[in-house]
Amino acid sequence: MTAPIEIHDRKRRPGGRAARVATRSAPLAEDRRPVRAGLSGGQYNPLTEAEVLRIHHAALDALEQVGLSQAPESGVQAMVAAGAIQGEDGRLRFPRALVEDMMAKAAKEITLYGRDEKHHLTLSGTRVHYGTAGAAVNIVDPFTGDYRPSTARDLYDSARLAHNLDNIHFFQRTMVCCDVPDLVEMDLNTAYAAVAGTTKHVGTSISDPIGVEPVFELLHMVAGSEAAWRERPFVSLSCCFVVPPMKFATESCITMEAAIRKGMPVLLLSAGQAGATAPTPIATAIVQAVAECLAGVVYVNAIAPGHPAIFGTWPFVSDLRTGAMSGGSAEQALLSAGCAQMHRFYGIPGGAAGGMSDAKVPDMQAGWEQGIINVLSGLSGLNMIYEAVGMYASLLGFSPEGMVLGNDVIGQALRCVRGIDVSEDSLSLDVMKAVCLSGGPGHYLGTDQTLSLMQTEYLYPEIGNRMTPKVWEEAGRPELLKVAHDRVQTILQAAPTMVAPDIDRAIRARFNIRF
């Protein structure tokens, strides 16, 4: 093994280390950062072009032959008027020509707005964005392993964490407000905890159609007016519009229709579980998810052609020994990557599940599961990678420390997505000649090229430890979870509410906010 290089020529660059530290600490413009939102993936393709076509045709066959049941009457009328056929069995079936027509009308590029324009996300092609989701019902203590029911305050704090972690590009609710038993109040607290915690784009859910009006009243108050909301809708609806296999979720569809009329982008979320509510073969699980989301594309564009809708194929995996969900499996990584290829085939922005783990706490198992799924999802060019941080126990638990650790994981995944710069400048031999020939120093440390690239080409973990064993020992053997916990506390102690005080007071006077 080659020994680490040692530099003895201290006369070469007085203050060189201090200069490098200063360079490393200087803030970079967004477009010069080594990783950032919207990097282009697409380098990894688990499906061949022929296999993509086979899945596409199988999904069209499923829509024509099996169809979907239980659409609300308003949805039936809209889809039948567009060309769907309702059979005597009540199921809606979708001719190929109808599906193709509606795909042509579907939005091919979507802007998801943040309340701060620097957080706007452009969804198109293979542009990759990582964020949260999952709706865990517990929060995890990483030191004791204890689980307790999550609260509205926990959700608010997780939004504040997300706001201050650069590699988390959007925030969809991470937890259920278990301390709010009323469904309408829970939806109000969920939406407000998110927008009060971050100005990044937010995804939320509305559990019951009767919650639509109060939630939008709250969002209009945050925006300043309904017109301001419609100009830049900064919250999207995470809508489980289907109940796999191949059934519409009646009440969720009614909510979706209302959200569309109110200008809200929608995530068409199909979350079958392979081996349970979706077919066991990975390919057929993708077929069912694609078929259900294509039905959603027909539904949305029959109501409002071109309305922003994310193709949310989220098939999950079962551990077939028990039937339990397995969120951290290699099969999950393949499912998400395969779905990304289908999104690209249709040219419709899409999202799927990312880096959740089956581990109960942020440990080594969590690290490998989150790393593998986040890297493959990013390399596949998935536009929206949900559940990428903080999610444990197959989505039953959330860890704030895991979110902070996951920010480092996403950073490394994004660096893989960015790939290798092979250009005339990067391949120039001038620096090599200067180092190796004519009395050159024999190493590249401290060269202008190294200093110029140390921030823009290389990524450094915020929490991950790269100390030598000697320095680590001298530092008191810092433990990763303790460092992450301290980082959580530092962020939360400084992070303000992201809603102006007068608006916050008005919202709290109007609604029963629990945090």
- The C-alpha angle 482, 487, 492, rounded to 5 degrees, equals 130
Q: What is the 3-state secondary structure (H, E, C) of 412-468?
A: HHHHHHHCCCCCCCCCCCHHHHHHHCCCCCCCCCCCHHHHHHCCCCCCCCCCCCCCC
Question: In this structure, are residues 292 and 270 in contact, taking their beta carbons and an 8 Å threshold?
Answer: yes
- State pLDDT tens for residues 328-349: 999 999 999 999 999 999 999 9
Residue 395 located in a structural domain: yes
DSSP state of 119: G
Residue 249 located in a structural domain: yes
Residue 17 located in a structural domain: no
Structure tokens at 308: 């922003």
- State the pLDDT at residue 25: 60
Give the residue among 382, 232, 406 at the shortest CA–CA distance from 312: 382
Residue 449 located in a structural domain: no
Q: Which residues pair with 89 in a beta bridge?
A: none
Q: How far apart are CA 429 and CA 409, in angstroms?
A: 33
| Angle of helix 250-261 versus helix 73-82 axis, rounded to 10 | 70
Taking the CA atoms of residue 60, residue 61, residue 63 and residue 68 in that order, the dihedral angle to the nearest 10 degrees is: -150
Residue 95 located in a structural domain: no
Distance of CA 281 to the CA centre of its chain: 25
Q: How far apart are CA 244 and CA 386, in angstroms?
A: 19
Where the chain has pLDDT below 70, the residues are 1-26
Structure tokens at 456: 């823009």
Beta-carbon count within 10 A of 282 CB? 18
Number of structural domains found in the chain: 1
Secondary structure E strands in 315-427: 316-319, 324-325, 351-353, 384-386, 391-392, 397-398
By CB atoms closer than 10 A (0-12, 13-18, 19+), residue 283 is middle
Residue 442 located in a structural domain: no
Residue 353 located in a structural domain: yes
- State the pLDDT at residue 11: 38
CATH of the domain at 170: 3.20.20.480
- State pLDDT tens for residues 9-64: 433 444 455 655 555 566 778 878 899 999 999 999 999 999 999 999 999 999 99
Q: Which domain holds residue 183?
A: 104-419+497-510
| Angle of helix 96-105 versus helix 49-65 axis, rounded to 10 | 120
Q: How far apart are CA 324 and CA 273, in angstroms?
A: 9
Residue 352 located in a structural domain: yes
